[in-house]
Chain A
Amino acid sequence: MDQKFEGTPKATLRVEGRTVIRTAVTNDWGSQLLWKITRGGEPVASVNARLGESYSLADAAPGQYEVVLQIFKYENYAKDAAGKYTVSKFIDVSDKVTVTI
C-alpha cells in the first residue's frame, strides 16, 4: 500500500538579525525538511531543517538572501531516466523571508 499524505504542512518564519527562526511545522509529514536559501533567485544552499528551529547566515557574504522552509511531498516514486522524480517534489511550507547581510 503506497503512502498518501493528507493536509498541508505549515510553518511561520521570522528574522532576528542574521538568523531565521521557524515555528514547529503543523501537519508535519515527517519527510525531508529543508531551509532553502537563494540569492537573486539563484540557489545558495539547501540545509536540513530537522536539527533545529533556526538557521544562521552569520557567515554569508554581504548581500540579500531569501529563505523559505520546504518539505518533500511524496506523490509516487516515479522517476525519469535521469533518476529525477516526475511528480513528487519539494513544496514551500512557509512564506519567504529576506535577510540582508
Chain B
Amino acid sequence: MLHLGDVRVPVCHGVTRRSFLHAGAAGIGALSMHAMNALEASGAVNESKAKIRNCITIFLVGSPGQVDTWDMKPEAPAEVRGKFKPIDTNVPGIQICEHFPLMARMMDKVALIRSLHHKTGATHENGQRWMMTGHDFNADSMKPHSGSVISRVFGNNGMLPASVLLPWKIGNTGAGPLHGQTAAYLGSAHEPFYLGSDPSRSDFKVADLSPPAGQTELRINTRHNLLKQLDDMQRRAENGPALSRDTAYSRAFNLITSNEAKQAFDLSQEAETTRDRYGRNTLGQSCLMARRLVERGCRYITINHFDTVFGISCWDMHADGGGLNNTYADYENLLCPQFDWAYTALLQDLESRGLLNDTVVCVLSEMGRTPQLNPRGGRDHHPAAWTNFLAGGNIKGGQAIGSTDKTGARPQNNPIEPPQVLASIYHAMGIDLETTMMPGPGSRPVRLVEAEPIDQLF
C-alpha cells in the first residue's frame, strides 16, 4: 500500500489516472460559476433575454438532395426534378416531398432555409465543419463544436453535461478526420459527452455511466479523492493549468455516480407506445433520448443520423453501384419515413410537455446534391445550394427563407451561409455575439462566429 496525502492507494491493482479516465472518459466540463457570473456581469450573456434554453440538432450525415426533399422543382426537366412529387403543407404556398406527409402537417412550426450554401470544397467534412462550428479549418486551427461553445458559456445544469452527442461521433466520411465535433482549443472540459452506443438496441447501455468491471463505488470514490489531491498538488505547482482536467474528472465522476444521469439515458422508463411513436430505430430512439436530456437540464444535444456514408443506407445518394449505392429506394422506403416519423414525434412530444417554447430543433446537413441526376440516377455533392430548417423556441414557423433558381442549383435571393445559422442559435440563447469572446489559440479572444443572426427567423 502506498500513501499519497491521506489516501491509501492499492498499487498492485493498477490504479492509474488513465484507467479512471477510461471509466468516465466523457471529458465533460463546464464553466465555473465564478466565470459564468463574470460573463453575465459583462453583459456578454444575458439569460433573462434568452428566447430559448435548449437546442437539439439532427444532423443528416451524407446530405439529402434539396430537389428531392424540401426545395422541389416540379416544373424542371425530368433529369432535374427527379422521381418524387411535391405535396401541399399546412402553410399555403409551401410544398415539400410526398415522403414527409407528417411534417407537411406541421409546417406552420418550421422555418425552411432554402438558400444555404458554402464556397469551400464539396466534401462531407467541409460541410460538417461549417455546420458544426460555423468555421472551416484545418488541423492547425481547429474550432470548437457549437455544443462545446454552449458548455463553455453556460456550463452544465446539475449532474448532466451541457452538451451531448448521440449516438456516435461522425467517423469515416471520405476526406479526413476533421468533422468539427470536438472542443478544440476550449479543452477537454468542454468536449461533448459522446454516447457511443445505439439506444434502439436491446443490449444498449452507456459505457461511460457504468463503473468498469470489478470496480465498486467505494473504490471509485477512493480514486476520486486521490485524483483530487493529485490535481490540487499539480495546480499549486503549475499555478492553475490543471483546471480543465480537474473539471473533466469531476464531470466524469459525477456521471458515473449520478442517478440523475443514469435516468436521463434510460429509455426503458418510457412507455412502449412512446418508444413506438418515435420509431424503433437509431434516429427515433436518439430523438427520444434527446427529449429526456432536455427535460433534465441538458442544453445542447446533437444527433448524428449516421456516422459514415459507406456501405450503409444513408442520405449520400450517389447510386454508384458500389460502396455509395444509395438510391431513391433508400429515400422512399427508409430514410424519409424514418425521419418524418421521428422528427414529428419529437416536435409533438416537446410541445405536449411545454418544452418546445424553450427548445429549438435544428435539422442540418453538410451541403446539397447536384440538381442534375447523374447517369446512374443518383445525385452527387453540391455545396452551392441546399435546404435546412429550424423549429421551436422563438423561431417564426411557416416560412421559407431564401430561394434557389429554377433547378435548385444556386441561391436566387437572400443567400445564407452556415455561420449565420449558428449565429442565430447563439443569439436566441442569449449570447451577445459582439461581446462574447472565446479564448482562442494562444488565449487570444476570438468571436464565436464571423456572422450575424438571420433576422427573418425570429
* Chain A residues with a Cβ under 8 A of chain B: 1-7, 9, 24-33, 48, 50-51, 72, 74, 76-79, 81, 83-85, 88
Q: Within the complex, which residue of A6, A48, A74 is in contact with B101, where a contact is CB–CB below 8 Å?
A: A48
Query: Smallest Cβ distance from B179 to chain A, in angstroms?
Result: 15
**Minimal Cβ-Cβ distance residue in A for B104:** A51
B180, chain A: closest CB distance, angstroms: 20
Kindly identify which residue among A2, A3, A31, A78 contacts B333, using a CB–CB cutoff of 8 Å.
A31
Q: Name which residue of chain B comes closest to A27, CB basis.
A: B280
Q: A50-B102, A51-B101, A74-B313 are in contact. Are A85 and B329 (CB under 8 A)?
A: yes
B276 touches A26 (CB 8 A): yes
> Which stretch in B39-47, B50-58, B196-204, B361-369 binds the other chain?
B196-204
CB distance from B68 to the nearest CB of A (A): 15
Contact A2 B279 (CB under 8 A): no
A5 CA to B282 CA in the complex, in Å? Answer: 9
Known: A6-B202, A50-B341. A29 touches B273 (CB 8 A): no
In the complex the two chains form, is B312's CB within 8 Å of A3's CB? Answer: yes
* Inter-subunit contact B312/A29 (CB<8 Å): no
Report the Cα distance A20→B380, complex, angstroms.
Answer: 42
In the bound assembly, the distance between CA atoms of A51 and B98 in angstroms comes to 11
- List 7 other contacts, CB 8 Å, given A2-B313, A27-B276: A24-B273, A27-B280, A31-B279, A32-B333, A50-B102, A51-B101, A78-B325
Q: What does DSSP make chain A's interface, helix, strand, loop or mixed?
A: loop
Least CB separation from B285: chain A residue:
A30
List of 5 A-B pairs having minimum Cβ-Cβ separation, nearest first: A30-B279, A77-B313, A30-B341, A28-B276, A72-B333
Residues from chain B with Cβ under 8 Å of A27 in the complex: 276, 280
In the complex, A31→B282 CA distance in Å? 12
For A26, what are the chain B residues with a Cβ–Cβ distance below 8 Å?
A: 272, 276
B442 at the A interface (CB under 8 A): no
CB distance from A23 to the nearest CB of B (A): 11
Known contacts: A24-B276, A25-B276. The answer to whether A3 contacts B332 by CB under 8 A is no
- For B272, list chain A residues within 8 Å (CB): 26
Smallest beta-carbon distance B151→chain A, Å? 25
Beta-carbon contact of A29 and B281 below 8 Å: yes
Query: Given contacts A1-B198, A72-B333, A74-B334, is CB(A50)–CB(B340) below 8 Å?
Result: yes
**B304-333 with Cβ < 8 A to chain A:** 306-308, 311-313, 319, 321, 325-327, 329-330, 332-333
A-B contact pairs, 12 of them (CB 8 A): A1-B306, A1-B312, A6-B201, A6-B280, A28-B277, A30-B341, A31-B338, A72-B333, A72-B337, A74-B333, A77-B326, A79-B329
Task: Report whether B311 and A2 are in contact in the complex, using a CB–CB cutoff of 8 Å.
Answer: yes
> Which listed residue, B277, B280, B326, B332, touches A29 by the CB 8 Å rule?
B280
Contact A83 B284 (CB under 8 A): no
* Residues from chain A with Cβ under 8 Å of B342 in the complex: 30
Q: Please measure, in the bound complex, the distance between the C-alpha atom of A25 and the C-alpha atom of B279, giving whole angstroms.
A: 10
Distance in angstroms from B95 CB to nearest chain A CB is 16
Contact residues in B for A72 (Cβ distance below 8 Å): 333-334, 337
Tell me the smallest distance from the CB of A24 to a CB of chain B, in Å: 7
Other-chain contact of B281, A5, A32, A76, A84 (Cβ < 8 Å): A5
Q: For residue A84, which residue of chain B has the nearest CB?
A: B329
Give the nearest-CB partner of B284 in chain A: A30
In the complex, which residue of chain B has the Cβ closest to the Cβ of A83? B327
Q: Indicate if B70 sits at the interface (CB-CB under 8 A).
A: no
Q: Does B278 contact A (CB under 8 A)?
A: yes
Q: How far is the CA of A71 from the CA of B31 in the complex (A)?
A: 47
CB distance from B199 to the nearest CB of A (A): 12
User: Which residue of chain B has its CB nearest to the CB of A77?
Assistant: B313
**Is B377 an interface residue, CB under 8 A from the partner?**
yes
- The answer to whether B337 and A30 touch across the interface, beta carbons within 8 angstroms, is yes
Report the bound CA distance from A57 to B142 in whole Å.
59
Known contacts A50-B337, A85-B329, A30 near B312 by CB under 8 Å: no
A77 x B325 contact (CB < 8 A) = yes
Given the interface contacts A3-B313, A50-B341, A74-B313, does A28 sit within 8 Å of B168 by beta carbon? no
Q: What is the distance, in angstroms, from A90's C-beta to the closest C-beta of chain B? A: 8
In the complex, how many angstroms separate the beta carbon of A57 from the nearest chain B beta carbon?
A: 20
A32 touches B337 (CB 8 A): yes
Nearest to B105 among chain A residues (CB) is A51
Residue of A7, A27, A28 ringed by the most chain B CB atoms within 10 A: A28
A37 CA to B278 CA, complexed, in Å: 27
